[in-house]
Homo-oligomer: A and B are copies of this chain.
Amino acid sequence: MTEGERGAIGDLAIRLEQAVGARAILTEAGERERYLVEERGLFRGEAGIVIVPESAADLAKAVEICAAAGVGMVPQGGNTGLVGGSVTTEAEVLVSFRRMNRIRAVDPTNFTITVEAGAILADVQAAAAERGCFFPLSLGAEGSCTIGGNIASNAGGIGVLKYGNTRDLTLGLEVVLPDGRIWDGMRPLHKDNSGYSLKNLFVGSEGSLGFVTAAVMKLFPRREQIQTAYCALPSTKAALELLALARRRSGDEVTAFELMSEFSLSIVCAHAGGQRPLADPSPWYALIELSTSRPGEDLRPTFEGLLEEAFETGLVTDAVVAETIDQGQRLWRLREGIPEAQKRAGGSIKHDISVPVSAVPTFIAEASRAVEAYMPGIHVCAFGHVGDGNVHYNLTQPDGMDKAAFLAHWDAVNHIVHEIATGLNGSISAEHGVGLLKVEEIDRYRSAVEQSLMRSIKTALDPRAVMNPGKTVALGISSGAR
């Protein structure tokens, strides 16, 4: 930063302090650190100023000041994103939503909850449960991620198969726009066809069109019973047939269907305290959850019946249905332990692709053939929400290889995997979003028409490009456009 830039930041801090109050500006290095560090160490932020406003009105004043000065602003919820969406540069202002975290209302008759953007996801779930309702968004970071971050990134998680992603759960929004105006779209309506769907433009836009400050989210009747099973499968094709069978036989009560490769189970057992739930190893496993909100219904006979049919037709070679809630949670920990186990198993190159559900077996087969040809000994640690066609096609380094040497292949391996996914009409960002990590790569895969549509929208709503600059949509023309 030059002397002049430093002076400009100082002037801005004074004006922002007048707008939002001294308490809302963090100046101590110690206070600021939590906002700048990214857990996985892929990025390191450097915000010139960190503000923690207490209301949309205060934030709006701050945004107006920054916009007038042409200073970029970066929103941050729980700082748990996986694509660097809330990473700042030192010329930018970081806006944390930690102090705007109230649950404003729960309406069990309208099946809605009204929340501020900084509310922690687990707190939203708990507030819904207290009133006999169920908020289905659920993901690994739920103890610290915020609903505003979930909305900005259109978070997916484990319940998408039945309940949809965050977009499907969002009914109304309040947004501070790039010029400091506030859009009040907090309508708690299940149906509204009165013009363009502004709400859907902001959901998933990663703060690059405006900052979400509050939302009305959809709720569901409380779940009365949850049944979990862990199954050994001969192939990914069998997984798809088992999923279709489970949807049909359960009356579409499959709330999760998670695929795991043998390698992913083996490292959870080796490095993350997992215990094999079935005697013999199998190429693939599925963690299946059925649940019902019908009081007194027992899903166990349904589950056993469908597994029996699956067994007879060879879709499943072994299976265990959890006898207790505790046993069900242990099965879930096998799935949830994968990221931790991967960290301990050496270097990982990660992907968040989706393809049509019917193309999952082809994708996994082709990608595995290609990466194994590129690097013999590489381990396929694929897992994910196969019911949505979303595979976390992660790769772990060959045994004994140097970690840094392996990670040097990140871009090349990404390229191999992404070419195969997009060739199958897939996406290279199914649920984690674009952020900083994929902004160039995704732009390359967009058609020229799609690039220009994305840019038209960004420019129409944020003509000075001050909202989360450089994220989501590349404003330069990518040379790789096809």
List residues of A whose CB falls within 8 A of some B CB: 107-112, 153-154, 156, 160, 164-165, 167-168, 177, 181-198, 200-201, 203-205, 209, 220-222, 224, 240, 244, 247-253, 292-295, 297, 302, 354-359, 385, 387-390, 425-434, 438, 442, 445-447, 449-450, 453-454, 456-461, 472-473
From A184, which residue of chain B is reached at the shortest CB distance?
B447
User: Which of A357, A438, A459 neighbours the largest number of chain B CB atoms within 10 Å of its CB?
Assistant: A357
| In contact, A191 and B112 (Cβ under 8 angstroms) | no
CB distance from A417 to the nearest CB of B (A): 15
Q: Which of B168, B191, B456 contacts A390 (CB 8 A)?
A: B191
A295 to B195, CA, bound (A): 41
| In contact, A187 and B427 (Cβ under 8 angstroms) | yes
| In contact, B447 and A244 (Cβ under 8 angstroms) | no
Can you identify 26 A-B contacts, CB atoms within 8 angstroms? Answer: A108-B244, A109-B358, A110-B356, A110-B389, A153-B193, A167-B197, A177-B453, A182-B449, A183-B453, A185-B450, A186-B425, A189-B354, A189-B427, A191-B388, A191-B431, A192-B354, A193-B204, A194-B442, A195-B204, A195-B472, A197-B204, A251-B253, A251-B297, A253-B294, A456-B460, A457-B461
Residues of B within 8 A of A200 (CB): 167, 197, 200-201
**Nearest 9 interchain pairs by C-beta:** A251-B294, A460-B460, A200-B200, A109-B358, A192-B427, A190-B388, A191-B430, A110-B357, A110-B356
CB distance from A51 to the nearest CB of B (A): 22
From A108, which residue of chain B is reached at the shortest CB distance?
B244
Q: Which of B431, B432, B442 contacts A195 (CB 8 A)?
A: B442
7 more A-B contacts (CB under 8 A) besides A193-B434, A200-B201?
A109-B244, A165-B191, A191-B354, A192-B427, A194-B428, A459-B460, A460-B460
So how many copies of this chain end up in the complex? Answer: 2
Known contacts A183-B449, A449-B177, A457-B460; A429/B196 CB under 8 A: no
CB distance from A160 to the nearest CB of B (A): 6
Residues of B within 8 A of A154 (CB): 193, 197
Q: Which of B165, B189, B472 contacts A356 (CB 8 A)?
A: B189
| In contact, A454 and B195 (Cβ under 8 angstroms) | yes
User: Which of A177, A191, A460 neighbours the largest number of chain B CB atoms within 10 Å of its CB?
Assistant: A191
Residues of B within 8 A of A456 (CB): 460-461
| In contact, B164 and A168 (Cβ under 8 angstroms) | yes
User: Which of A111, A203, A442, A461 neighbours the largest number of chain B CB atoms within 10 Å of its CB?
Assistant: A111
| In contact, B247 and A221 (Cβ under 8 angstroms) | yes
A429 to B111, CA, bound (A): 21
Residues of B within 8 A of A438 (CB): 194
From A190, which residue of chain B is reached at the shortest CB distance?
B388
Known contacts A108-B244, A244-B109, A357-B111; A425/B196 CB under 8 A: no
